[in-house]
Structure 1
Amino acid sequence: MTRICVFGAGAIGGYVGARLAIKGEADVSLVARGAHLAAMQANGLTLKQDGETHVVHPRVTADPKELGPQDYIILTLKAHGLAGVIDQLMPLIGKDTAILFAQNGIPWWYFHGVGGPLEGTRLDSVDPGGVIWNRIGPERALGTVVWQAAEIEAPGVIAHHYGDRMPIGEPTGEKTERALVLSRLLTSAGVKSPVRPNLRNEIWLKLWGNLSFNPVSVLTLGTLQELATDPGTRRVIRTMMEEARAVAERLGISFAVDADERMDMAAKVGAHRTSMLQDVEAGRPTELDALLGVVIELGRIVQIGTPSLQLVYDLCKFRSRQP
């Protein structure tokens, strides 16, 4: 049976782990910590979804050494936490272990498998000093885009709110056996995970909203619906999106929608406070560099100016340090 470890089993990781455990086609384990870990060890993992409640009992631990090498690791920590867990990941990594990196923003492996003059370029904003690239290696990486929203309702209890898509892809765009196997397991478990030949387009589609709405929400305290419908904030967000689009298109990205359609997608989510705003208010580190700082860095690489992105980045960086 395929061995899958969900590392960092918070809201999204807990949701994915629960779906896999419910289906029972893989040997699923979870790495978690704190009260959430203790509750899962005592009572199992509860998933609330579509009016149903499921309780499953996968193996749960804080110590990856208890689990041994895995076929797949699904890594659901936020981007800024990746470098700090490399030592903990090592006992889970065998000769052929693939790691699905389920982070928002531009991934650290972005320039692996692209070919051309930028092949192998390291992104300091998301992988300072190339630590992840050098120690894990981009050849292990699978990418994904998480479109689900979920929360830890209580320790050991995950509430799924919306979304069922989590497409995956190889950095090279190939439909490899390891990608197809994981796709089948996730899709069978109720997580729609087709293998995309160019996942970077979808990465940018989600990022396009996150790089603009999230930091602007930190500065204004507005919800997605408010930011997308107020003329002033909508104008700021459109300007940010157009700067980012110029960078992305220089990198060969094509967008399936225009800026107004993407803003309308965000408005439909409703009175949602972004995770970045919640992180700032809770005094937690944010995904600012993975969502916005990295796009500014990419702009420098492809020689496209990003003055609006830099302005909002600087203000948000200041705001996120305030009590």
Structure 2
Amino acid sequence: MKIGIIGPGAIGRLLGYTLAQGGHDVVLICRREEQAERFLQTGVTYVDPDGQEHHAPVQAVVGGVEELDGVIVTVKSYDTESAATQIAALHTQAPVLSLQNGLGNAETLARHLDPDRIALALTTHGATAEGETKVWHKGRGQTVIGSLVPPSTAGAFWAELLEECGHPAALSDDIRREVWSKAMVNIGINPFTAVLGVQNGQLLQESEILPLMQAAVEEAERAALAEGVVLQGSFQRVLDVCKNTAENTSSMLQDLQKGRRTEIDAMCGVIVQVAEKSGSSAPYNFFLKKIVKKCETKRSKLSSLEMKGLFDEFLQNN
């Protein structure tokens, strides 16, 4: 089959290599001609968890491509709208898989595409992009896939395809709940590591910050409930992930370190919107969104005491 991947970053390259090794024609849809040319010259360079380097040939284009059998979206959440319009312009009814961070990506895609075509996925595989074409597979994990609108077969299409290529995938009958559940963990970890400039495990040692993390996550759980998603025990999952990924650098911290825009709008920003829509407020998530946005424009690393002080001042004045 011919599979297009919009967003050849770390996860896009990982899936591209997997599908190419499985015998499929992979088309990486790039923004820049320079990157497309590099992929055409070298293919995807994949470094497995044992440090061994492998290569797989791929096609690469800038813009659209016709006659695809499937499209995978791995762009940052703030680029989902652009990807959706790009897919709509292809005039194809091929199934679409969103493997992205944050909340609201499915809704954005569904505004432009038939919801029955759409599947969502979450993965715990660790991957890091290097240069234009290389991806380091830092750790094997699990990929969960589900149709946006059950009983659509979109989820099963992607799960079967990845399984055939040696990438285990589990089907979920409630992928929306899975997405919200992962968002709780992201909200409890990513903004705090980004502002403090620390790896995940260090958060467990920040006694001043742990109560703020818990408050932000519980606030997000209430927003989920307002959307009909019942979640419990999310903060304990945050602590477990911090422990199990102690040496990891969160994607949000990586974005700040590289001077890139973060996905805070698709995390804490959505929580604020949902809370306001339901007639309540989400001050902890509002503050996190505000402070991360500030770090995007003026990179500054705070201590835990400084961050708590700003939190307390904000809450007192609002």
For the criterion TM > 0.5, the same-fold answer is yes
For the residues of structure 2 that align with 1:282 and 1:256, how far apart are their CA atoms?
34
Q: Which residue of 2 aligns with 1:101?
A: 98
Instruction: Quote the residue 1:210 is aligned against.
Output: 186
Q: Name the CA distance, whole Å, in 1 between partners of 2:181 and 2:111.
A: 28
Between the two proteins, the alignment pairs up a number of residues equal to 297
Letter in 2 for 1:23: G
Aligned to 2:235: 259
Counterpart mapping for 1:1-323 below 5 A: 2-24=1-23, 26-34=24-32, 35-51=34-50, 52-64=52-64, 67-90=65-88, 92-94=90-92, 96-110=93-107, 133-174=110-151, 176-255=152-231, 257-322=233-298
CA distance in 2, matches of 1:263, 1:81: 30
Report if aligned partners of 1:173, 1:199 keep a CA contact under 8 Å in 2: no
Unaligned runs of 5+ in 1: 111-126
More deviation, 194-203/85-94? 85-94
Tell me how far 1:258 sits from its aligned partner. Answer: 4.1
Structure 1 window deviating more from structure 2 (30-39 vs 297-306): it is 30-39
Q: 1:249 to 1:63 in 2, by over 3 A?
A: closer
Q: Give distance in 1, aligned partners of 2:212 and 2:110.
A: 35
The residue identity in structure 2 corresponding to 1:44 is G
Q: Which TM-score applies when normalising by structure 2?
A: 0.85
Residue 31 of structure 2 contacts residue 63 of structure 2 at CA under 8 Å; is this kept in 1?
no
CA-to-aligned-CA distance 1:272-305 (integer Å, 9 cap, x gap): 2222122223221110111110111112223343
For residues 136-169 of structure 1, give each alpha carbon's deviation from its aligned partner in whole angstroms, at most 9, with x where no partner exists.
Answer: 3534321111322211233321111123322111
Task: Return the alpha-carbon distance in structure 1 between the equivalents of residues 289 and 88 of structure 2.
Answer: 34
Call closer, same or farther: CA 1:46–1:107 in 2, change over 3 Å.
Answer: same
TM-score normalised by structure 1 residue count: 0.84
The 2-side partners of 1:61 and 1:293 are apart by 33
Identity of aligned residues (%): 22
Match of 1:231, SS state, is coil
Q: Distance in 2 between matches of 1:261 and 1:89?
A: 35
Confirm or deny: 8 A CA contact 2:147 2:154 kept in the other structure: no
Name which structure has the greater RCO, CA cutoff 8 Å, separation 6+: 1
Structure 1: how far apart are the matches of 2:166 and 2:13?
14
Q: Secondary structure at the match of 1:150?
A: strand
Could you tell me which runs of 5 or more consecutive residues in structure 2 were left unpaired when the two chains were aligned.
Answer: 300-318
How far apart are 1:21 and its partner, in Å?
Answer: 0.9
Q: Residues 263, 319 of structure 1: CA spacing in aligned structure 2 closer, same or farther, 3 A cutoff?
A: same
Instruction: Give the aligned CA root-mean-square deviation in angstroms.
Output: 2.2
For 2:57, the aligned partner's letter is H
Post-superposition offset of 1:90:
4.2
Name the amino acid aligned to 2:25. Answer: D
